[in-house]
Every structure is written in structure tokens, then in C-alpha cells.
Amino acid sequence: MDKLIIEGGVTLNGEIRISGAKNSALPILAATLLSAEPVTITNLPHLHDVTTMIELLGCMGVGISIDEKMSVEADAGQLTSSVAPYELVKTMRASILVLGPLLAHFHDAKVSFPGGCAIGSRPVDLHLRALEALGAKIEIEDGYIHATCDGRLKGARILFDIVTVGGTENAVMAATLAEGQSIIENAAREPEIVDLCNCLVAMGAKISGIGSDTLIVDGVERLHGAEYAVMPDRIETGTYLVAAAATRGKIKLKDTDPNQLDAVLLKLEEAGAHIERGEDWLSLDMKGKRPKAVSIRTAPYPAFPTDMQAQFTAMNAVAEGVGTVVETIFENRLIQAHEMNRMGANIQIEGNTAIVTGIEVLKAAPVMATDLRASASLVIAALVAEGETHIERIYHIDRGYECIEEKLQSLGAKIRRVAG
């Protein structure tokens, strides 16, 4: 099993390009199931999860062609199966996103219960209730969700009692081909939802309220082919910004969208970062100074994202002062703190809160990644540690960061991948 070896103490400096957003690419790839015509998706990140989703579509008979730039043409008009098998679904939670499109277009879907990161309870019952509201019949059999409908789904009012990104995505995709109007209330507002909706509109869907917590979908009989570019990855953008801040560095990020990161940028400025932004770029300069500790509380968009919590915890570990990190989304997402404490960090866990007392420098130690964002935080911790840190189980990081060692090397980091 591969591991990363990082020699700390280097200040990050330089510029890199940000990849397409994984959390946008996966639902958009699933959305290609809604059209009987070819759909071309561009700016896809070259990531394991994206490859898995493409493989999942292919195993159901979707015609797939990929060019050298990772643009994918998907033709669901050739579909031969509406079953998403356990062998593929077990590795990636986002596989559940094929449920709504399969049901809406082919009136039958059989999807294994999903896997993914072990960061706490993420039940799919919200997805299922939304589809039932649209007229689906759902049975659970042998570890599979079997959803069927007699003809087209029917428009309905869907009210989520808690905000759910995946549930909103499944509901809006299914509603595009339903008969009549659907109103989705307490919908998630993440930029990735906006990106999915914009892609669906490009395919002929009728959706209003995009970007708000109420989506109104007027069902159409069919969606057509389209070409659509996936948005830049805001979490990858934030991760490199925090890595530069923790190492007292100066970086510029190209091909990104500064407007999606307000909560993160505010906290980085609070930490002492000097930030400049353009239409499609961001720069951060710490002027060689140690960051100041910041307190954060995760919450659904537009508040502070749970996917950036671990990275800020790592920055706080070497910051001036004490920062409090409150995780309200996933109950196991402070687990990386125990690995950072092995590197000398001073982090105390009290329930869903981490109290981080910054120290001048961390010490290298062997550590193990437990999920995608925790692994990114351990990379940041290793960059600011004295000595050589070995990070095991980095298959997690490959699920969400394209070419992370090459990008960090171009910024001056001493990082290499070693085959295990």
C-alpha cells in the first residue's frame, strides 16, 4: 500500500492550477443517465472516485469515451442494466446518486447500499423518502435498494427535515423527468448543487430557485445531449491555501472561483493571511509570519464547510494562541486530532469540539489517514513538522486530490510517494 513521505520545514511558494470539483463531477456524471443522447463532461479531475463512477456507468451499459484531457462522453441510450453492483458501490458513497436518474429515466433502479469514508452516520433514508414522495416504490432486499415506478414519476412537494447534499441531488435529478411540478424545500445550497442544476438546465431541465433553499422543478418528458464543464474544486482550493498559511508561505491558485470560499477566506484573513482575488484566481501571502489561531464551527453552506475543518485544525496546531473547532455535521470527523497529537500537537477533544493550543513546531511521526480530509490535514501537519513524516493509507487522499505530491513539489515541498 502506497504511503507519502514528507520532510517538513519548507515554506510553500509558487503557483498551481486547481482541478475540477470531485463533489460536482460525481453527481454530474450520474446525471448523464437522464438523457438518451450523448452528454460530454469536461474539466473532470483525474481521481479514483471519478474513475469508479465512470466504471459504474460503463458496467450498466452506458457508452463511454474519454479523450486525453479527461473529457468524458457518456451515452445512456445504450443502457443494458439498471443495477449498480456492490463491488463498485462499496468503495464510494456517491454511487447512491445513480438511484434517482435511473429511476426517473428507466423506471427501475437497483443500487447496493454505498460505502465511502468512515466519518459517521450518513443515512440514505432522506434520499429514499424524497423518491417515495415522487411516487417510487422502494424495497430493501439483500443489501440492495430496489426502486421502481409505474410509468413516469409524479411531481411532489419534498421537504427535507435536515439539509442533505446527496438527498437534494437525487431529488432534483429525479424530478427533472417527473410529470408536473416538484418543489424541494430546505434544499442544500452548496455550489456543487448549483453546478449540477446548471448542467441539468443545459440538458433541457426546467429548474428555478437555483442557489436558494427552495428548488422548483417543472418536469419535462426527456432531456437532451449537452456539453458541460465541471466547476473548480473549492475544497482543493481551500486546502492549498491553508497549507500555505500553515507554512508561512505565498501562493497563487489559478482556474478557481474565489466567490465560493467566503467563509474560508474570512478565517484565513483572521489568521493573518493577505489575500487577493481575481475573476479566476486567488493568492495568499503570510509575509513570513506564523498564523494566528482561529475558531470555527462547521455548518451547511454558506457557513464554514465540514470538508475544511481538518485542514484548519492542522493550521491551528502551529498557530499563535488557542482555536476552538466545533464539528456539527459528522460525529467522527475530529478523529485526525489523535494522529496530530502523535506529532506533538496539543489538541483536546470534548465531544464534538477540539480545543487546539498552538505550538511553535510539530515533530515528525508515523501517522495513518482515516478519511479523505483527515489525510489532507496530516499532509499539512507533516509540512510544518521537524523531520520526516510517513503517512500511511493514502488511498484516501487519492479519492479527492489530483496529483497532490506533484502540485506540492511545484510549490517547494519535499514530498514523495513510496509504493508499499
- 8 Å CB contact between 29 and 2: no
DSSP secondary structure, 321-357, as one string: SEEEEE--S-TTTTTHHHHHHHTT-EEEEETTEEEEE
The pairing of strands 281-285 and 322-326 is unpaired
Residues β-bridged to residue 6:
389, 415
Cα dihedral: 187, 188, 194, 198 (round 10): -40
Half-sphere exposure of 75 (CA within 13 A, CB side): 8
- Integer Cα distance of 271 and 289 in angstroms: 10
Residue 417 cell numbers, joined? 510517494
Residue 151 is classified by DSSP as S
- 8 Å CB contact between 400 and 6: no
- 8 Å CB contact between 351 and 332: no
- Integer Cα distance of 197 and 188 in angstroms: 12
Give, rounded to a whole angstrom, the gap between the first and last alpha carbons of the chain. 4
The full length of the chain comes to 420
Residues β-bridged to residue 284:
251, 275
- Across the beta sheet with 322-326, the strand order is 296-297, 322-326, 353-357, 346-350
Instruction: Tell the burial category of 292 from Cβ atoms under 10 Å away from its Cβ (0-12, 13-18, 19+).
Output: middle
Residues β-bridged to residue 232:
20
Active-site positions?
117
Question: Which amino acid makes up residue 251?
Answer: I
Q: Which residues contact 307 (CB under 8 A, 6 or more apart)?
A: 23, 235, 238, 373
Residues β-bridged to residue 277:
282
Half-sphere exposure of 48 (CA within 13 A, CB side): 16
Residue 118 cell numbers, joined? 468512515
